[in-house]
Each structure stands twice: as structure tokens, then as C-alpha cells.
Structure 1
Amino acid sequence: MAHDFDIVIIGGGILGTSLSYFLSSLNKSKKIAVIEQEHSVAFHTSGRNTGKVHAPYLYNPEKKKLFAKSAFHGYEMWEEYAKLRDLPFKEDGVIEVATDQKGIKVLEKYLKWGKENGLEEKDIKLVNKEEMKKTEPEIKCESALCVYRDASTDYSVFTKSIMKDSKESGTDFLLDTKVTKIKKESGKWTITLNDEHEIYAKFLINAAGGEAVDVAHSVDVAEKFTDVHFRGEYWKAPSEYNKLTKSSVYSVPEFPDYPFLDPHWIIRVDGSCEIGPNAVPVFSPHGYDAAENIKEFIPKMLEMLNSGARKAVFDKQFQELAMNEIQSSMSKTTMVNRVKKFLPKIDAKKITEKGTAGIRSSIIDDKGKFVPDVILIEDEMSFHVLNYNSPGATGALPFSAHIVNHLNKIGLITNEEEEAVCGPWKFSEIIEKLQ
């Protein structure tokens, strides 16, 4: 194993792998490594989501312009990449439903945002309940936003393909390798792996997902932030429900200021259907089971009680919402009933198999507020990506290109080839579209 690197990326999720893809294309002579503690890339959140490639109708075009552009162009980039590599990409749309007047107002706002973010008339349409009944007779709602520029894929497959391309450009992927210590000495980073080996890096990029805050804290960065983790659980629908709707169905979020997602009716790229997710508070970014949560319970609670998260934990509305999510984890019927509000035909008794659970990590600031956006922190020898939930997997390619371009512009790294071709794209053209 090589020991000296120009750039080391911690985290082999879809973001870290995409960063390596662009960095290696732009810097053929630089030695770049991605460190991933699991045996494959996209092992956690990147490979445990619903695989949706989302249209940017949820982003305020004034406040979240970059996110919206990343999602908009991410869609076309993933579609093009899927054709290039013969990977799954199914344009199947999504329907956002409102079950009351308040929800209709939200859908009207989403329609306006979507069009301002580049969606055309053919891409998005607001319909009333009578019109919805004609195309989707099983859906019960007052109004619905039909988003046709929305697709399904498998981000685990995408990430593994991006890794392969990145490796061909010279990136080393150190899998089954955990970063156990990081220290700065003599103008470079000394990174201890698995408590025994050391490698060295001139520049460090932290894209560690659910552990990104812990990595940042280990090098005295982002100390005013802490993270909380939520396990999103799914139930698989029996095959008799696979044709219940033509598109996935989402409901308008009831509490948008909290990271609690109203359960959806999901049609995956393979045609199977699921209900989920809820958002059960857990104590580890890998808290899929009781053993891991018990192990991390005390250290995580101490960390939260000594940070801004304390204010969120003792907030009455948060406590009530958290208890509702725990109840949905303990009771399948509770979770299914949430979806029955807009798909009344579903029978909880017929749903017997659990789907894949994923964990979403959210950042809380020192005032006890959930941070809604990604946090980018830089210093002279490192760059940290925290709270990367939006623009998520959909926008991972263009957002990674944006980060690489930003690091180049401020002089933290130097791209050797400004006009480099990265797969089917010119790097400069990606950046131009994000302006």
C-alpha cells in the first residue's frame, strides 16, 4: 500500500466517490485515495435510499439556487451516465399529494419553485382530485402535483461504477479500512488506519456522511455542531400491490422544520413497492440494531447533553414527534395507516416483510436548531462536508464538481487540466451550468 498521497478523501459514499472521480480526471499526476471502513462503497446511506432521482421542486430558487441547479443537472447527468454504462434508470415520475387545504397551498408553492428551477410545463403539473382519479384511481387526495421529470435507479450500482472509473484514473480505494486517528504534523496529515498503519496526505477531504461531524471534531473543526441520527424503516408491499399506482406517491410534509419524513409509497427501479420511511431516533450512524444502539447510547447522550442538541432533545414538540416515530417502528399498522390516508386500498395484514433500513444524520447547531442545508468548512489543509442530505444522491455529481472547482478557485488544490473530460462531460461545462 502506498503511504504518501496528495489528497485523501474519508468516506466512500456517493459524494466521496464522486469527488474522487472528478479529482482524478483533473489531476492525472496527483496521488488520490478514498478511505472507506466498509467492504464496499455506498454501504450505508448512499446504498440504502429509495433510489429516486428527484426533480428540484422542493428547493426555494432564491435561497437554495445551487442545490436546485445540482438536482436539475444531476438528473440529466445520471441519465446520461446510465446510458453510457448501461445502468438502470427508469423515468417513472412522482406524485406529491395534499389531503387538505393547507397542503394544496404547499403544492402551489412547489409548482412555482419547480418552474423557477427549470422544470417545463411537460415536467410538472398541478391537478385536482377529479383529474387525479382519472389517471390514478387508487389515490385519495384533494390535489396532487404530478412530477414527470423524476426517475428511479440504484445508487449503489451507480457509486460502484463511478468508483471503477475513478480507479481507472488512478485513485486508490482503501476498503475495509477505518480511520482511527488523524493528526497534523510537519505540514501534512498523518492518518492512522485500523489502529496500526499510517498514511500521509497533503490535503484531507472529509465526506464521511454519518461520521463526518466526528471526523471534523477529531481535527478541531465544527465544534459548535453535533449530529443526531434517525433510522428510516421500510415495509415491503406484496407483489399484488405492484400495479396499485403508476408512480411513487409522496405526501406534503407536516413538520418541515424537523427531519421527520412523512411516509411515502415507493416504486423502486425493479418494480417492487415499499412503504416508508419513518424516522426513529437512534444513537449511532450504524444503529440498525439494538446491540449497536445500546453500545453507543451513553456516549451519544453525553455528547448531546453537552451540546446544542440538548435544547432540541428537551423541546416538547420534538419529543412528541420522536415518540410518534418510535411508535411507528413498534407498530406496523401505525406506519401503514399513514399511507392509507392517500392509498386506502392497502391492507396492513398483507404486508409482512421489512425492507432495508437506512440512517439519516442531521446536524444541530449550538442554538439547538436543525441545520437545513449542507455545511462546507475549509481550512488551509482540509475541507469538510457536513449534513449532506440535500441535494443528496440526485445532485452528487454536479455538487462534487462544484466542490472541486471551489477548492481550485481558492487555491487549496490545483487542477492540472481545466478542460478535462470526465466521462461524457467536460468539467468546465458542468461548472458553467451551475452558475
Structure 2
Amino acid sequence: MFDCDVLVIGGGIVGLSTAYALTRAAPGTRVTVLEKEHALARHQTGRNSGVIHSGIYYRPGSLKAKFAVEGAAEMVKFCAEWDIPHEVTGKIIVATAREELPRLHALVQRGRENGIPVRELGPAQISEYEPRVRGLAAIHVGTTGICDYGAVSERLAEASGARILYGAEVTVIDRRAWGVAVRTADGRVVRAKVLVNCAGLHCDRIARLAGDDPGMRIVPFRGEYYELADPSLVRGLVYPVPDPAFPFLGVHLTRGIDGGVHIGPNAVPALAKEGYGWSVVRPRELGATLAWPGSWAIARAHWRYGAGEMHRSLSKRAFTEAVRRLLPVVEESGLRRAAPGVRAQAVLRDGTLVDDFLFREAPRTVHVLNAPSPAATASLPIGREVAARALARL
């Protein structure tokens, strides 16, 4: 009667980590993963900057802090075991204005509360790490690293032993007392005892298909990147002091596992769930975003910040000026466009930007409704958390 025990929707790193955790915790559990694309990790997982985050930014006691600190160590170990390219590089967070110094000091305290090794730096010590970076003060975070999350996803899929169905966009979910039946766009029907929603950008739609009110909507934000034409200008990872009023870290410089240096992202509203450029517009998805009251509450609360992000999106010169705060030697001609990404930001009806991971449970169903950065870093402990909830429903 059942095609599998647990059906996971979404072949990104969270869905694959869940499949991996399910078969580790309960050997013999039959797991199927539905992925609407024809390959794994084609959206958030495959379009991020590849950073293994330390957990320094996150409120002590939050799931983000707990999972990031655990997940960073586990991700390094997983990459080593599976021979996946990775490196523990450390990073510096740099204050370039006096008003940022109290926030930098607060990060020091937060890092220590989260058990993260932090070293405070003066201007001369900044130059020891990054000779061309300028700032008033900085902190060095030793546990930050980089890896290839696409390769991690492939290994998780392999190690899980799950059956993966590609080109399987979910169109109908029929939840009954006996289990769940899912129909895909190509007419396939898969029956399972428990459903796990790890659909990322589309998790709110999947929740509604299952008959559940998620109490939030995914509002997509596009992150736009450049890369340095001369990657020798930066040795490692350089971040600004983040503004705690907004859930984005600001324009930063990241040396990737391939040796290139990515710069960004700025964050602008995307006009589709997978809106990787201004020309990508999906009226139905845009209409759903505009119909959600929380979207307008965000606009009212953060319009000044948003206007600056839009300006940097449309003006390479403005983007370059933002980079020059950290790296004064960079010129506009030294930046080249790089592939953008889209962040799935959960927004409540009142406009609250959901800051932590968000899980909801319903009969025979577990929904992952917010898994922003550091989800890739924290994917192994997140997978265990979701798997435990799913197994409890078996």
C-alpha cells in the first residue's frame, strides 16, 4: 500500500540531511525524496557562498546558535570523511565606523556565550590577516570555514540510500488517517506514512496543499554578487559588522573553495520565488507576495534600508562604494558579475521577519518553514531534528 515510510519534498541540503538522518536513526526506513528539478541543490543550497558559519551572530539559546555551533564542527568532519573540498579559514568582522564599535563588542560577548573562539583586533592586527582591508577594529573568528555544499548534498543523497525522484513537482497532497498521497505534475502518485516538507522557497505553498495554515509566507529576496577580478586582494573571509535590525549580514568578501573571491550579497525583493534577475517575473507568485500583509509591513519598516539595496542593485558604482568601506583599493572595473541567489525569508502576518529556524507539525506531517542561513552549515543537526519529529509520527 505504501511506496515509502517517509516522503521528503525538496532535494536541497535540508531535505537530504533529513533523509540521511532518517536512515541513520532507523535503519530500514524507506525514504523517498521528491525534487522538482532534474538535479539536486539547484536553488538556495547550490547558490550560496559556501561558508561554514561559526554561529557568532545568533542569540544564545536559539536553534540557530545551537545548530550552527554543532553543525560547523560536524560539517568539517563530514567533508573530511567524504573527501569533499573544504577548509577552516577563520574570518574577520570589521568595524569601519565608530558607531559600529558597540555592536562589534556585543558580537565578542555573544561569541563567547556561544562557546566560539574570538580574538579582538586593532587596525595593525587587521593588516596582519588582510593587508588591504581597513577598519577601526575587528574580531577574528577561528571556526569559520568554506566548503562545496553541492558536493555535500550529493554525498548525503548517496549515503542516505533514499530513492530520489527528479522532475517531481508536487501539485496535490491528499492526507488521510492512513497516510499521505502526493501527486506530481507528471502524474506520478507516491503514498507514504509520513510527509516531510523541506521545499525551501516553496514550503508555504506545500503546507497549504497539505491543508495546513503555516501562519507565514515566504517572501523571496534576491542576493546579488560580484567577484574580484584580482582575487589576490583578499586572503580569506571579511565581513562588516551587521545591522541587527535586518536579517542580512551586509556586503562581505568570501574566498571560495575554488580560489575566487565573491562579494555580496545585497538583498532586493525578487519578483518570483526563483527570481534570479529583474527580468524573471511570475505574476501569480508576485501577487501572492503582495497580497500578504506582512510584505507591506516590511516595506514600511525598512524602506530606507531597501532603497539603499535597490540603488546598489542598479548601480555598480554604488555597489563598489559599499565594498570600498572594507577594501579601499578595489575599483569598479575590478568587479565582475557573479551568479545570484534567492533567500527564502519567512514573514509573519504582522511583518515580523522570522529570525530562527521554524518547524510546524500536523497529522502525519512535519513542515520546515524557515531555514535561512546558517541552514547549510547546520544541516546535519537540522536533519536529525526533523527526522526525530518524523519518526515520532511513524
Match of 2:272 in 1: 284
CA deviation map 1:186-232 (0-9, x unaligned): 52212111241211111100000111111112223234311211111
Match of 2:160 in 1: 166
1:310 CA drift (Å) = 4.3
Describe the shift of the 1:305–1:152 C-alpha distance in structure 2 as closer, same or farther (beyond 3 A). closer
Percent of aligned pairs sharing the same letter: 28
Pick from 372, 397, 401 the counterpart of residue 380 of structure 2.
397
Describe the shift of the 1:145–1:292 C-alpha distance in structure 2 as closer, same or farther (beyond 3 A). same
The separation in 1 between residues aligned to 2:388 and 2:96, in whole angstroms, is 43
The separation in 2 between residues aligned to 1:39 and 1:357, in whole angstroms, is 20
Match of 1:423 in 2: none
Pick from 338, 343, 368 the counterpart of residue 360 of structure 1.
343
Q: Does the aligned pair in 1 maintain the 2:366–2:386 contact within 8 Å?
A: no
CA deviation map 1:44-86 (0-9, x unaligned): 1001111111111111214x1x322221221221111122111
The separation in 2 between residues aligned to 1:191 and 1:300, in whole angstroms, is 22
Match of 1:339 in 2: 323
Match of 1:272 in 2: 260
The separation in 2 between residues aligned to 1:96 and 1:80, in whole angstroms, is 25
1:390 CA drift (Å) = 4.3
With structure 1 as the length reference, what TM-score do the two structures score? 0.86
1:193 aligns to 2:193 (yes or no): no
CA deviation map 1:393-417 (0-9, x unaligned): 1111012112323444xx313xxxx
The separation in 2 between residues aligned to 1:330 and 1:305, in whole angstroms, is 22
**Structure 1 residues 221-370: aligned runs within 5 Å:** 221-238=212-229, 240=230, 242-254=231-243, 256-293=244-281, 296-297=282-283, 299-315=284-300, 317-351=301-335, 353-370=336-353
Describe the shift of the 1:337–1:291 C-alpha distance in structure 2 as closer, same or farther (beyond 3 A). closer
The separation in 2 between residues aligned to 1:281 and 1:100, in whole angstroms, is 28
Name structure 1 gaps, 5 residues minimum. Answer: 414-435
1:212 aligns to 2:203 (yes or no): yes
Pick from 75, 87, 90 the counterpart of residue 90 of structure 1.
87
Match of 1:110 in 2: 107
Describe the shift of the 1:228–1:383 C-alpha distance in structure 2 as closer, same or farther (beyond 3 A). same
The separation in 1 between residues aligned to 2:2 and 2:364, in whole angstroms, is 18
1:380 aligns to 2:380 (yes or no): no
1:32 CA drift (Å) = 1.1
1:333 CA drift (Å) = 1.6
Describe the shift of the 1:308–1:82 C-alpha distance in structure 2 as closer, same or farther (beyond 3 A). same
With structure 2 as the length reference, what TM-score do the two structures score? 0.94
The separation in 1 between residues aligned to 2:373 and 2:276, in whole angstroms, is 22
Q: Bigger CA drift: 135-144 or 380-389? A: 135-144
1:146 aligns to 2:140 (yes or no): yes
CA deviation map 1:311-356 (0-9, x unaligned): 32540x42333232222222112112101011100011122x3212
Match of 1:35 in 2: 34
Match of 2:16 in 1: 17
The separation in 2 between residues aligned to 1:3 and 1:291, in whole angstroms, is 43
Q: Does the aligned pair in 2 maintain the 1:3–1:200 contact within 8 Å?
A: yes
The separation in 2 between residues aligned to 1:127 and 1:329, in whole angstroms, is 32
1:286 CA drift (Å) = 0.9
The separation in 2 between residues aligned to 1:135 and 1:225, in whole angstroms, is 42
The size of the alignment, in residue pairs, is: 394
- Helix, strand or coil: the match of 1:369? coil
The separation in 1 between residues aligned to 2:23 and 2:344, in whole angstroms, is 28
The separation in 1 between residues aligned to 2:291 and 2:313, in whole angstroms, is 28
The separation in 2 between residues aligned to 1:147 and 1:376, in whole angstroms, is 29
1:259 CA drift (Å) = 3.7
The separation in 2 between residues aligned to 1:370 and 1:151, in whole angstroms, is 27
The separation in 2 between residues aligned to 1:310 and 1:270, in whole angstroms, is 37
- Helix, strand or coil: the match of 1:304? helix
Equivalent AA in structure 1 for residue 326 of structure 2:
F
1:305 CA drift (Å) = 4.0
1:178 CA drift (Å) = 0.9
Equivalent AA in structure 1 for residue 280 of structure 2:
E
Match of 1:426 in 2: none
1:45 aligns to 2:30 (yes or no): no
The separation in 1 between residues aligned to 2:298 and 2:382, in whole angstroms, is 32
1:69 aligns to 2:66 (yes or no): yes
The separation in 2 between residues aligned to 1:272 and 1:218, in whole angstroms, is 41
Equivalent AA in structure 2 for residue 35 of structure 1:
L
CA deviation map 1:103-147 (0-9, x unaligned): 12112111112122122xxx3201122322344221111110111
Q: Does the aligned pair in 2 maintain the 1:373–1:390 contact within 8 Å?
A: no
The separation in 2 between residues aligned to 1:237 and 1:246, in whole angstroms, is 12
Describe the shift of the 1:100–1:153 C-alpha distance in structure 2 as closer, same or farther (beyond 3 A). same
Name structure 2 gaps, 5 residues minimum. Answer: none
Q: Does the aligned pair in 1 maintain the 2:49–2:262 contact within 8 Å?
A: no
Q: Does the aligned pair in 1 maintain the 2:234–2:261 contact within 8 Å?
A: no
Describe the shift of the 1:85–1:332 C-alpha distance in structure 2 as closer, same or farther (beyond 3 A). same
Q: Does the aligned pair in 2 maintain the 1:181–1:195 contact within 8 Å?
A: no
Equivalent AA in structure 1 for residue 38 of structure 2:
H
Describe the shift of the 1:222–1:96 C-alpha distance in structure 2 as closer, same or farther (beyond 3 A). farther
Q: Bigger CA drift: 130-139 or 47-56? A: 130-139
Match of 1:180 in 2: 171
Equivalent AA in structure 2 for residue 160 of structure 1:
E
1:283 CA drift (Å) = 2.4
Give RMSD over aligned pairs. 1.9
1:125 aligns to 2:109 (yes or no): no
The separation in 2 between residues aligned to 1:195 and 1:113, in whole angstroms, is 49
